[in-house]
Structure 1
Amino acid sequence: MPTPDPATQLEMYRRMLRIRRFDETVKTLFDRGRIPGSVHLSIGQEAEVVGACMALRRDDTMVGNHRSHGHPIGKGAALGPLLAEILGKATGVNGGKGGSMHLADFSVGSLGESSIVGSGLPVAVGAALGAKMQGSDRVCLCFFGDGASNEGYFHEALNMASAWQVPVVFLCENNGYGVTTAFGRISRVPDVAARAAAYGIPGQIVDGQDALAVHAAVGQAVQRARDGAGPSLIEAKTYRYPHHSEGPLYDAIAYRDASELAAWQARDPLPLFARHLEDTGIADAATLTGIEQAIAAEVAAALEFAQQSPWPDPAEAHRGLYRTPIAGFDHA
């Protein structure tokens, strides 16, 4: 796949920065007790998210997981409704009902995410099958973590997708840990991509801190799927800088070395990409500073929108949940 033009590369940087600043804001809100439940941040994984999402067309679909604030942002979603959703506000993309782990944004083809590990894999196969049955050349991109690769959903989904030759790209975001368990402790196969051979589909490992490398790999797989050649499995080796989720619990568990975290932080995808933009003459320091300021303003505006938005009307609680109306509730 050809290298994206300079304008596209600048947009890749903007989207990576949006995800970073958005999730930093979510963390601040969570720490202040403004977000109920738990949140899972993508800080450190922005390159693989944006590289993959920008290899899609606007009408292509995607399925996320519990760590999915970044995925719709990577595909171009507006920040305000996403943040409002996380805060449980009526102006959220799902009216405040989905929250951090169950949001969807159909405006950018985000079909949803789930806290059930691996459950998005069969959903993605279904979306891809639907596109094929409709005679469309849409592709579905499925994000999942390394922990999900040991779930039955993973094997069933890859087998079905291969047997039916549906247009789906499976992208494993291998950040090295399922909660606090290192991937190497629960798998004798070191690379998830190697499992593709069992289902007769291509498997590829890519540097998840390199947005352009991910974009090229996913772009090739997307074109393959669009041409009717079926699914692919791509494994992006990446790393999350925060813990599995926010809160004090994981601070007390020594599950990774400080040296390991430092080594991955030395390959932070944002400064790596900024350096690339400067080295290639696509942007100078002033341009990058301007982008940083613009993104900061976008996130601030999104926060203001979310904070000023109203809470949902309690009468809306059961709307959209049941086909048969519940007596006593207004479903008009």
Structure 2
Amino acid sequence: MSAPQALDPDTARALLRQLLRIRRFEEQCAASYSAGAIRGFLHLYIGEEAVAAGLCAMLREEDAVFATYREHGHALARGVPMRGLMAEMYGKQEGCSGGRGGSMHLFDVGRRFFGGNAIVAGALPLAVGFALADLLQSRPHVTVCVFGEGAMAEGEFHEAANLAALWGLPVLFVCENNLYAMGTHLARSESETDLVAKAHSYRLAAASVDGMDVAAVREAAGAAVAHVRGGGGPFFLECRTYRFRAHSMFDPELYRDPGEVATWRTRDPIATFVARGDAAGWWNADDVTSLRTEADAEVADAVTHAEAGTWEPVATLTQDVYASPALGGRA
């Protein structure tokens, strides 16, 4: 990668605002889950916020985004309203997926955010299909697919990478490498731990970036997006990151050394970016306090909205399913 470009204060503040919004949303989701207001599975993005914030800052409205089941941050950074996201977490009709998707299936067609996918590597073939459609119709769009390093051990990754390279598709593969997938270290699950080398084996243009540095992610994502949109074909971007919380709220987290987690926490993407901005003069203490207060207020409003939301009537629960009991199928 070339030398990092200097950020202007407005861009830096926008990035910090996004980081704070995502962190506070995730913290509130953890609290609401513990209180029983959010149920089912919940996978928190705390520690990885720099990837979503830096990546989505470089996309256009017409670009498509696919993500994993740890996708709250991507949805927020993509512009999905926090009220709709929190209502979805609570299972209310006012949620972005009508209360039916929950944490792992956030969806917003208007923002070109197509999930939220509970299947590991499940979004990769979909993203390739979207990119193929854009190529065939000569649309200057970029399809972004975010996935974890665990997905690279799945057949879908290899099939998607092969076809994307073979057909020169306008797709950006973004791997959030947090080292542990669900609970197994990369070195114990894959013989080749150099993920860029793995991408190169399919003749994908590829790069790796510090996923704890939002400015670095933004710059690397900008270069990757420009490559894809300019007709250069698919691109693979590895973001080296780390989740501070367990895999999910059900995870007892017995596989990581607490000392390792503590070491990674010293690289908190928010704290380090705030310190960098202090030194660069992008903001002062009052500016940061104001942004934190703004994020707190937005989260509080989203919770109020979700709590006041409504449950879907039982009479409509079979609507939009593939088979109806009345036709002899299973709903």
TM-score interval, normalised by the smaller of the two chains: over 0.9
Quote the sequence identity (%). Answer: 40
Secondary structure, counterpart of 1:106 in structure 2: coil
C-alpha distance in 1 between matches for 2:116 and 2:185: 23
Which residue matches 1:174?
177
Which residue matches 1:283?
283
Do structure 1's residue 40 and structure 2's residue 43 form an aligned pair?
yes
Match of 1:138 among 136, 141, 162: 141
Structure 2 runs not aligned, ≥5 long: none
For the aligned residue pairs, the C-alpha RMSD in angstroms reads 1.5
Contact 2:90 2:306 in 1 (8 A): yes
**What whole-Å deviation, never above 9, does each CA across 1:215-267 have from its counterpart, x for those lacking one?**
111111111111111111111110001100003x414x2x1111111110000
Which residue matches 1:51?
54
Alignment of 1:210-289 (within 5 A): 210-247=213-250, 249-251=251-253, 253=254, 255-289=255-289
C-alpha distance in 2 between matches for 1:272 and 1:315: 51
C-alpha distance in 2 between matches for 1:116 and 1:24: 24
C-alpha distance in 2 between matches for 1:258 and 1:2: 35
**What whole-Å deviation, never above 9, does each CA across 1:9-33 have from its counterpart, x for those lacking one?**
2111111111110011111111112
C-alpha distance in 1 between matches for 2:233 and 2:315: 45
Which residue matches 2:318?
318
Contact 2:67 2:145 in 1 (8 A): yes
Do structure 1's residue 150 and structure 2's residue 150 form an aligned pair?
no
Equivalent position amino acid for 1:234 in 2: L
Secondary structure, counterpart of 1:110 in structure 2: coil
Which residue matches 1:79?
82
Secondary structure, counterpart of 2:174 in structure 1: strand
Which residue matches 1:201?
204
Residues 185 and 316 of structure 1: CA distance in aligned 2, closer, same or farther (over 3 Å): same
Contact 1:15 1:76 in 2 (8 A): no
Which residue matches 1:117?
120
The count of corresponding residues between Structure 1 and Structure 2 is 324
Deviation of the 1:327 alpha carbon: 3.9
Secondary structure, counterpart of 1:81 in structure 2: helix
Q: What's the TM-score once normalised by structure 2's chain length?
A: 0.94
Equivalent position amino acid for 1:292 in 2: R
Deviation of the 1:75 alpha carbon: 1.6
Secondary structure, counterpart of 2:172 in structure 1: strand
Deviation of the 1:326 alpha carbon: 6.1
Structure 1 range deviating more: 295-304 or 6-15: 6-15
Deviation of the 1:5 alpha carbon: 3.4
Residues 2 and 326 of structure 1: CA distance in aligned 2, closer, same or farther (over 3 Å): farther
Contact 1:3 1:216 in 2 (8 A): no
Secondary structure, counterpart of 1:221 in structure 2: helix
Match of 2:101 among 83, 98, 101: 98
Deviation of the 1:168 alpha carbon: 0.7
Equivalent position amino acid for 1:174 in 2: N
Secondary structure, counterpart of 2:293 in structure 1: helix
C-alpha distance in 2 between matches for 1:268 and 1:176: 16
C-alpha distance in 2 between matches for 1:222 and 1:4: 18
C-alpha distance in 2 between matches for 1:77 and 1:114: 16
**What whole-Å deviation, never above 9, does each CA across 1:25-45 have from its counterpart, x for those lacking one?**
111111112222110000000
Q: What's the TM-score once normalised by structure 1's chain length?
A: 0.94
C-alpha distance in 1 between matches for 2:299 and 2:39: 20
Contact 1:65 1:144 in 2 (8 A): yes
Contact 2:75 2:106 in 1 (8 A): no
C-alpha distance in 2 between matches for 1:306 and 1:91: 8
Residues 315 and 261 of structure 1: CA distance in aligned 2, closer, same or farther (over 3 Å): same
C-alpha distance in 2 between matches for 1:306 and 1:171: 31
Deviation of the 1:3 alpha carbon: 4.7
